[in-house]
């Protein structure tokens, strides 16, 4: 190595060392800041840290013992047996009957169901095709609660836009009687899915006869993604469906190049009266005050009618009730009750959770201590995100630090992966949701691809170990997790 090259090498290494040192200082300062903001007693800190061996026991039993692979095997049996489980369908209700019987057979306690009304939407025949400037098939999936087209379908000229603002700037005369195609750029799930949720309403306001919306996904192989949509009060209800990313972009290009684009659309979709479904409940009852300060573990049992709901949200539901089962079989019974709730009607808007909250509202401050949910996949866990006041956060951080054996100590706030429990978290109850390596979650979300091949047995084991460990510690502590409830 030449002298100049050697000096350059030394310089680069020195810079890297300084950068690493600087990063460590930043991390230490962040940790010091968090520690300074917390005023937990030394006794409470030592009490929490005393659960280290319990976490090791739970982790070893699930990852290396007789429970290894059980979640994946049970979920596979369930999805093979029932397939998709859309709210209002026989398959969902039969799957709930099955789960109630299974939970009783597994020896869980206080197993029962609680009723909730859910929407009943029927997906009928759906087809779309490009008529001009050439003929081609367009893959579609109608959006939940969408109305259908008149019998025989419709043919309409297309207006294509990227954003709501672009549509609003167009004169009504340019949109009236046409099909609006939305091709928003992927900006994360929430922002992109807003077009799915409100696209039909915005198009209808301008006089459109239908709305076709780019699927809410960052990656596509020609698969449309379904989901729910809502008509605003007072607007004329028009058919709404998702199309693939590829087709949305192609149609937008054609339109912007001045081509006359026409689409034929036929949808035999319709809404029936709401029906009764059920949340499915099971428990590991606490040794003290079993009906007070309950810790909730949850996921939703319903799915869309494409795929089999393995990822959304079979995995989340199964790690929740399996955590309760595994703790019971390990003889780990905490002071407070740990309750698994498998929600119904989540995909249409948290119908099961909202009804559960309504029926438990009278004594909810006394009944509920902490909520945990998984609804963004059950891939390798990296930690938990959290919503709650500062004192609750300080306690929760200490608990989360014990999850090092699972490499799952990452903390984020607020909780982002618990739509059902947001019914409580938004009102001041503390809670958390699973943080996992879900970078490909929206590749399969609400598509035919949501099947068992996206689930990994070892990842499911780590997720259930995280849920079981966290729930046990919080349920067994000498103190409740603080809350500030807003009505």
Sequence ranges of the domains in the chain: 42-121+273-476, 124-268
CATH of domain 42-121+273-476: 3.40.630.10
What pLDDT score was predicted for residue 37?
85
List the end-to-end C-alpha distance of the chain, in Å, as a whole number. Answer: 72
**Burial bucket for residue 109 (CB in 10 Å: 0-12, 13-18, 19+):** middle
What pLDDT score was predicted for residue 6?
37
**Burial bucket for residue 9 (CB in 10 Å: 0-12, 13-18, 19+):** exposed
User: Apex CA 480: angle with CA 477 and CA 482, to 5°?
Assistant: 135
> Treating both helix axes as pointing N-terminal to C-terminal, what angle do 70-82 and 457-476 enclose, rounded to 10 degrees?
110
Do 124 and 268 form a contact (C-beta atoms < 8 A)?
A: yes
**Burial bucket for residue 324 (CB in 10 Å: 0-12, 13-18, 19+):** buried
- With a CB cutoff of 8 Å and minimum separation 6, the contacts of 384 are 372, 396, 400, 403, 408, 410, 411, 432, 433, 434, 435, 466, 470
Do 184 and 166 form a contact (C-beta atoms < 8 A)?
A: no
Which of 70, 346, 355, 373 is labelled catalytic? Answer: 346
> Treating both helix axes as pointing N-terminal to C-terminal, what angle do 457-476 and 315-329 enclose, rounded to 10 degrees?
60
What pLDDT score was predicted for residue 36?
58
**What is the C-alpha separation between 65 and 63, in angstroms, rounded?**
6
**Burial bucket for residue 224 (CB in 10 Å: 0-12, 13-18, 19+):** buried
Nearest to 262 by CA among 129, 150, 172: 129
> Treating both helix axes as pointing N-terminal to C-terminal, what angle do 390-401 and 3-37 enclose, rounded to 10 degrees?
130
**What is the C-alpha separation between 341 and 88, in angstroms, rounded?**
19
**What is the C-alpha separation between 481 and 378, in angstroms, rounded?**
25
What pLDDT score was predicted for residue 11?
37
**What is the C-alpha separation between 377 and 312, in angstroms, rounded?**
7
The rounded average pLDDT for each run of 10 residues, N- to C-terminus, in the chain (487 residues) is 39 42 40 67 98 98 97 98 98 98 98 98 98 98 98 97 98 98 97 98 98 98 97 97 98 98 98 98 94 97 98 98 98 98 98 98 96 98 98 98 98 95 97 97 97 98 98 98 92
Q: Is 139 a catalytic residue?
A: no
| Architecture in CATH of 124-268 | 3-Layer(bba) Sandwich (3.50)
Nearest to 261 by CA among 414, 161, 131: 131
What pLDDT score was predicted for residue 290?
84
Do 352 and 300 form a contact (C-beta atoms < 8 A)?
A: yes
**What is the C-alpha separation between 420 and 300, in angstroms, rounded?**
8
Q: Name residue 441's beta-bridge partners.
A: none
**What is the C-alpha separation between 394 and 37, in angstroms, rounded?**
8
Quote the tokens at residue 452.
């068992």
**What is the C-alpha separation between 102 and 301, in angstroms, rounded?**
14
User: pTM of the prediction?
Assistant: 0.91
Q: Name residue 262's beta-bridge partners.
A: 132, 157
CB atoms within 10 A of CB 169: 10
Q: With H, G, I as helix, E, B as strand and everything else as coil, classify residue 94.
A: helix
What pLDDT score was predicted for residue 122?
98
What pLDDT score was predicted for residue 395?
98
């Amino acid at each position: 190595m030449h002298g100049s090259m050697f000096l350059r090498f030394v310089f680069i290494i020195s810079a890297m060392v300084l950068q690493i040192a600087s990063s460590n200082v930043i991390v230490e300062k962040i940790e010091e800041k968090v520690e300074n903001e917390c005023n937990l007693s030394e006794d409470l800190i030592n009490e929490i840290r005393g659960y280290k061996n319990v976490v090791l026991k739970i982790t070893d039993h699930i990852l290396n013992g007789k429970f290894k692979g059980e979640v994946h095997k049970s979920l596979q049996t369930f999805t093979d047996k029932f397939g998709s489980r859309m709210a209002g369908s026989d398959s969902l209700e039969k799957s709930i009957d099955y789960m109630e019987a299974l939970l009783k057979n597994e020896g869980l306690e206080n197993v029962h169901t609680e009723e909730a009304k859910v929407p009943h939407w029927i997906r009928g025949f759906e087809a779309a095709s490009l008529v001009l400037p050439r003929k081609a098939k367009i893959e579609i999936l109608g959006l939940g609660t969408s109305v259908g087209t008149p019998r025989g379908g419709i043919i309409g000229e297309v207006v294509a836009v990227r954003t709501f603002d672009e549509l609003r700037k167009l004169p009504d005369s340019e949109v009236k009687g046409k099909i609006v195609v939305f091709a928003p750029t992927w900006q994360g799930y929430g922002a992109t899915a807003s077009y799915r949720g409100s696209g039909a309403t915005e198009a209808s306001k301008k006089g459109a006869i239908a709305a076709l919306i780019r699927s809410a996904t960052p990656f596509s192989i020609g698969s449309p993604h379904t989901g729910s949509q809502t008509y605003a009060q007072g607007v004329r209800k028009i058919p709404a469906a998702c199309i693939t990313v590829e087709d949305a972009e192609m149609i937008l290009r054609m339109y912007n190049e001045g081509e006359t684009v026409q689409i034929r659309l036929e949808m035999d979709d319709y809404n029936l009266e709401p029906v009764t479904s059920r949340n499915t409940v099971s428990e590991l009852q606490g040794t003290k005050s079993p009906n007070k300060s309950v810790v909730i573990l949850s996921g939703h049992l319903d799915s869309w009618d494409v795929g089999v709901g393995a990822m959304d949200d079979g995995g989340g539901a199964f790690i929740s009730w399996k955590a309760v089962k595994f703790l019971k079989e390990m003889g780990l019974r905490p002071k407070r009750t740990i309750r698994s709730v498998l929600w119904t009607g989540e995909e249409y808007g948290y119908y099961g959770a909202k009804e559960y909250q309504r029926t438990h509202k009278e004594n909810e401050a006394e009944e509920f201590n902490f909520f945990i949910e998984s609804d963004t996949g059950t891939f390798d866990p990296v930690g938990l995100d959290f919503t709650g006041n500062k004192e609750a956060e300080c306690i929760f951080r200490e608990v989360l630090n014990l999850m090092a054996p699972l490499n799952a100590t990452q903390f984020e706030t607020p909780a982002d992966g618990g739509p059902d429990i947001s019914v409580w978290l938004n009102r001041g109850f503390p809670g958390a949701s699973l943080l996992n390596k879900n970078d490909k979650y929206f590749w399969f979300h609400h598509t035919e691809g949501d099947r068992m091949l996206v689930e990994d047995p070892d990842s499911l084991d780590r997720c259930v170990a995280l849920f079981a460990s966290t729930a046990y510690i919080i349920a067994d502590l000498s103190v409740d997790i603080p809350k500030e409830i807003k009505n």
